Amino acid sequence: MEDANYRIFNEPDEDTDIYFEYKNYLNKNIKFPLKTNFLLYVIEKGDNPYIYYLMNKINDIITLPTLYIKNIEQAYDFMKNKFEKSKYQYKGCIEHNNENYLLFEMSLFDSGMIPIYNKDSWWKVLPFEIIYSKKVLNYKIDQLCSSFFMNKINLLYLFNKTHKYEVPIVAYIGTGMSLLNNHIILEEHVKNGKYGKGFYFSSLEESYFNALYDDLEPTDTLLKLLNNKYITELTPISNRNIVIKNKKFYLNNIFIGDIPNNCNGIFTLHNFTEDFIYLKSTTSLKKCKNKRKFYIKRKEDGCILKYILFLKKSKLVIHNKKGIFDSYCSGKTDNKWFPTYMIKDSSNSKCITYHLIDKENILDIEFMDKKNKHIPELIIK
């Protein structure tokens, strides 16, 4: 019998109402003056609804915004001052350990891939980070903050009339600045890998390394070649079709690299950076014997992209992949320190934020082979 190390989340029925069950926590009478924490939450709707909170980063600690206030009017003044261009609605007050927690539902006018910089005070925090990782990137979440949510656990979930919605996990992709395009990034990370064809994501540590270094491992239909100044921004590109002569690639009669073994198909120019040339193949490159684990330091700044993943019917794989699932997660084994996540449908993922990594940052190129892969200091711009 196959082991039961998997989970299945109920699919939403025709009723698309989303319920946030906070009302049982509310106090009718609000005491002032008291230390007052602001619970600023956003509910993202759609096929995969989820909730997140806006928190502050203060001295490299993620915490709830906090004030000592004498009345509710001071809370409204704070919100008006901080969120002049955003809509918000007051929902009530929770009293916990002689502190007030004021609930505001936020409507933010941001969508797509949002940059968060080291200097920024407002950060998006997911329930997965509050419950499991206890960190946002490598910044610890304040312990009192985590304890509050664990005591009021329904503040981290969404429901409809019949079930609780899945809480998405957080995973990462590390890449170069020039590939900072959601379509290109996902296409670069679709692979016909050990769990089959799908979109592959990794841990924060591995993504940090990949933001600083790249290799020549092909994806399912995308081949990477070193760009030794073969193509630049000044190169006229009238035709993106690639010509093959004597086991070499040519673009408009410009030599751009040798053909790796078992790389068959018809190729076109997909994209290029200062470091690499990307060729798109009409056939799978799973058997392509291009250089793997051949790392090169990026000449450009890197970036780490934080994604949420909805695993749906998921399988945790320790040794062998069995059964048909919507996603797979690798266990932590001796020969594979980093966890790997694969989802089959890109609509079950969403990039929440991205963070720029200075190309001058130092990380040992032997990092991937070390047993202890702790990053002493992850520095973002």
Select the more confidently predicted residue: 354 or 274. Answer: 354
- Single out the residue in 241, 266, 293 at which a domain terminates: 293
* 193 and 303, same domain (yes or no): yes
Domain assignment present for 138: yes
Are 40 and 147 part of one and the same domain? yes
Q: Does 109 lie in the same domain as 81? A: yes
Domain boundary at 243, 276, 293, which? 293
176/143 same-domain check: no
Q: Please give the tally of structural domains in the chain.
A: 3
Domain CATH for 75: 3.90.79
Q: Which residues contact 128 (CB under 8 A, 6 or more apart)?
A: 167, 168, 169, 170, 308
- 205 plus 220 within the same structural domain: no
Do 256 and 114 have their domain in common?
A: no
Same domain, 70 and 94: yes
Q: What is the pLDDT of residues 257-294, one digit of tens each?
A: 998 888 878 999 998 888 889 899 988 887 776 555 67
Q: Mark whether 231 and 338 lie in a shared domain.
A: no
In angstroms, the CA 109 to CA 3 distance is 45
- 29 within domain boundaries: yes
Nearest to 159 by CA among 72, 236, 240, 50: 50
Task: Please check whether residue 72 lies inside any domain of the structure.
Answer: yes
Q: Is residue 251 domain-shared with residue 368, that is, in the same domain?
A: no
Please state which of the ranges 4-8, 82-86, 110-114, 349-353 shows the lowest mean pLDDT. Answer: 4-8
Nearest CA to 1 out of 313, 264, 322, 268 is that of: 322
**4 in a structural domain:** no
> Do 192 and 204 fall into the same domain?
yes
Last residue of a domain, one of 243, 260, 293: 293
Lay out the sheet containing 314-317: strands in order across: 6-7, 314-317, 327-330, 341-343, 196-201, 190-193
Is residue 63 in a domain?
A: yes
Structural domain including 360 reads 169-215+295-381
Q: Give the pLDDT score at 11.
A: 46
Same domain, 162 and 37: yes
Q: Are residues 174 and 155 in the same domain?
A: no
Q: Kindly state whether residue 314 falls inside one of the protein's structural domains.
A: yes
What whole-number distance in Å separates Cα of residue 294 and Cα of residue 290? 10
Answer yes or no: is 12 within a domain: no
Residues 104-143: tens digit of each pLDDT: 999 987 666 788 999 999 999 999 999 999 999 989 999 9
Q: How far is CA 290 from CA 259, 309, 312, 356, in A?
A: 9, 30, 34, 28
Structure token pair of residue 366:
């032997």
The reported pLDDT for the residue numbered 372 is: 62
Residue 11 resides in a domain: no
